[in-house]
Amino acid sequence: GQNIDQPTEMTATEGAIVQINCTYQTSGFNGLFWYQQHAGEAPTFLSYNVLDGLEEKGRFSSFLSRSKGYSYLLLKELQMKDSASYLCARGGDFNKFYFGSGTKLNVKP
C-alpha cells in the first residue's frame, strides 16, 4: 500500500482548534490533499499542498513537510458542522490518488 497513516478518531470542543496529522510514504510523491466527508456522502476537497509550508483557507489550514512525509490539517473555531471524517490523500505516479482511512472528528458543544 501507500502507508498513509492518520488517527482513527478525535474529539474536540466547539470553538476550539484541532490538528489532524497524516504521515505518508515519500517515494513517488505528487501532492498531498485533504478531503472532508460527512457520513453517507462523497468526499469534498479541502486543500492541496505540493510545496513545504502552510496553506491557509479561512478556518482551515494545511501544512506539508515533504522530507518528513508529514502533513496536518488545522481546523480553527470549530463548529458543530465540522463533525465529519477527514481524509488525507497522497498523489502518486500517473495521477493516481491514494487515501488514508480517515479521521473521524467529533465536535462537542
Partner 1 sequence: SQTIHQWPATLVQPVGSPLSLECTVEGTSNPNLYWYRQAAGRGLQLLFYSVGIGQISSEVPQNLSASRPQDRQFILSSKKLLLSDSGFYLCAWEGFQGGEAFFGQGTRLTVV
Give me the residues that bind partner 1 (CB under 8 A), please: 4, 30-31, 33, 40-45, 48, 50, 87, 89, 91, 94-102
Check if the beta carbon of residue 100 is closer than 8 Å to that of residue 22: yes
Residue 96 φ/ψ, nearest 5 degrees: -85, 145
Please name the amino acid found at residue 58: G
In this complex, which beta carbon is closest to partner 1, that of residue 69 or of residue 102? 102
In this complex, which beta carbon is closest to partner 1, that of residue 76 or of residue 104? 104
CB of 29 to partner 1, least distance (A): 12
CB of 84 to partner 1, least distance (A): 13
CB atoms closer than 10 angstroms to residue 58: 7
In this complex, which beta carbon is closest to partner 1, that of residue 30 or of residue 79? 30
CB of 5 to partner 1, least distance (A): 11
Give the three-state DSSP class for 96.
coil
Q: Give the distance, in angstroms, between the CA of residue 18 and the centroid of all CA atoms in the same chain.
A: 11
In this complex, which beta carbon is closest to partner 1, that of residue 96 or of residue 108? 96
Counted residue by residue, the chain has a size of: 109
